C-alpha cells in the first residue's frame, strides 16, 4: 500500500498523555485533509483507542515497551492503530475482544452504538462506549490481534472518509 502520510508515536502509559496526543493527531490530519470534521472524527478514534490502551494495558513498572500510536493514510482510507502489552488472563482484555466481536455482529455500526448506549443507561456504569463510537461516529471497522510478542494491536480502518454526525441518546 502506498502511504500518503504516516504518523508514529511512542506512548507513555498514563491518562495525561491522551489529550496532547489527540490534539497532535488533529493538527497533523488538518495538514493533510481540508475536512476538519473528518480530522476531528479520526482524532476521536485515536483518543478512544489510546484510552483503551491505558485502561487495559499491562503495567510494567519502568517500561513503556510496546505502547505506540500509528496513523497511516493511503488511497483506500486511514488506519489508526494503537499497540500495548496486555495480560491475556486479564478480564478487561476478554471484554475488549467481546465488544469488538459484538460490534462486528451488529446489523449496523449505528445499532451497535445504540445498544452500547442502552447498556450504559440500564447499568449506570460509565464508559463502555468507545469502540462502538469508533465504529459509528468514526466510520471505522475495528479489529484486534494479539502478537506473539504479547502486544495487543487494535486497529480502526475507515470505511469512508466522511464522518457521521453524533447520534442522540435513545429514549429511556
Question: Following DSSP, what letter does each residue of 55-84 receive, concatenated?
Answer: HHSPP-TT--TT-EEEEEEETTEEEEEEEE
Given a cut of 80, is residue 146 above it in pLDDT?
A: yes
Q: Is residue 104, in this structure, part of any structural domain at all? A: yes
- Nearest to residue 95, comparing CAs of 130, 121, 68? 130
Q: Is residue 167, in this structure, part of any structural domain at all? A: no
Please tell me the predicted confidence (pLDDT) of residue 159. Answer: 83
Q: Is residue 75, in this structure, part of any structural domain at all? A: yes
Q: Is residue 13, in this structure, part of any structural domain at all? A: yes
Q: Is residue 95, in this structure, part of any structural domain at all? A: yes
- Of 11-20, 137-146, 151-160, 163-172, the poorest mean pLDDT is in 163-172
Q: Is residue 128, in this structure, part of any structural domain at all? A: yes
Q: Which domain holds residue 140?
A: 5-158
Phi first, then psi: what are they for 72, rounded to 5°?
-125, 130
Helix then strand count (H, E) for the chain reads 5, 5
Give the confidence band of 10 by pLDDT, cuts at 50, 70, 90. confident
Given a cut of 90, is residue 14 above it in pLDDT?
A: no
CATH number, position 20 = 3.30.565.10
Number of domains the chain contains: 1
Q: Give tens-digit pLDDT for 18-66.
A: 999 899 999 999 988 888 888 999 999 999 999 988 888 876 655 557 7
Q: What is the mean pLDDT of residues 128-156?
A: 93
Q: Is residue 20, in this structure, part of any structural domain at all? A: yes
Q: Is residue 164, in this structure, part of any structural domain at all? A: no
For residue 122, what is its C-alpha cell?
Answer: 440500564
Q: What is the mean pLDDT of residues 92-108?
A: 93
Task: Judge residue 102's burial from the number of C-beta atoms within 10 Å of its C-beta, 0-12 exposed, 13-18 middle, 19 or more buried.
Answer: middle
Amino acid at each position: 500500500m502506498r502511504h500518503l502520510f504516516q504518523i508514529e508515536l511512542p506512548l507513555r502509559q498514563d491518562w495525561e498523555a491522551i489529550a496532547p496526543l489527540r490534539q497532535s493527531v488533529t493538527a497533523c490530519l488538518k495538514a493533510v485533509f481540508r475536512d476538519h470534521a473528518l480530522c476531528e472524527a479520526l482524532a476521536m478514534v485515536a483518543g478512544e483507542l489510546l484510552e483503551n490502551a491505558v485502561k487495559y494495558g499491562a503495567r510494567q513498572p519502568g517500561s513503556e515497551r510496546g505502547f505506540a500510536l500509528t496513523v497511516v493514510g493511503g488511497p483506500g482510507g486511514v488506519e489508526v492503530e494503537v499497540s500495548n502489552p496486555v495480560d491475556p488472563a486479564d478480564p478487561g482484555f476478554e471484554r475488549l475482544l467481546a465488544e469488538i466481536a459484538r460490534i462486528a455482529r451488529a446489523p449496523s455500526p449505528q445499532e451497535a452504538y445504540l445498544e452500547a448506549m442502552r447498556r450504559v443507561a440500564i447499568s449506570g456504569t460509565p464508559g463502555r462506549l468507545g469502540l462502538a463510537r469508533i465504529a459509528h461516529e468514526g466510520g471505522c471497522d475495528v479489529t484486534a490481534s494479539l502478537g506473539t510478542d504479547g502486544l495487543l494491536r487494535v486497529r480502526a480502518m475507515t470505511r469512508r472518509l466522511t464522518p457521521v454526525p453524533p447520534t442522540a441518546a435513545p429514549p429511556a
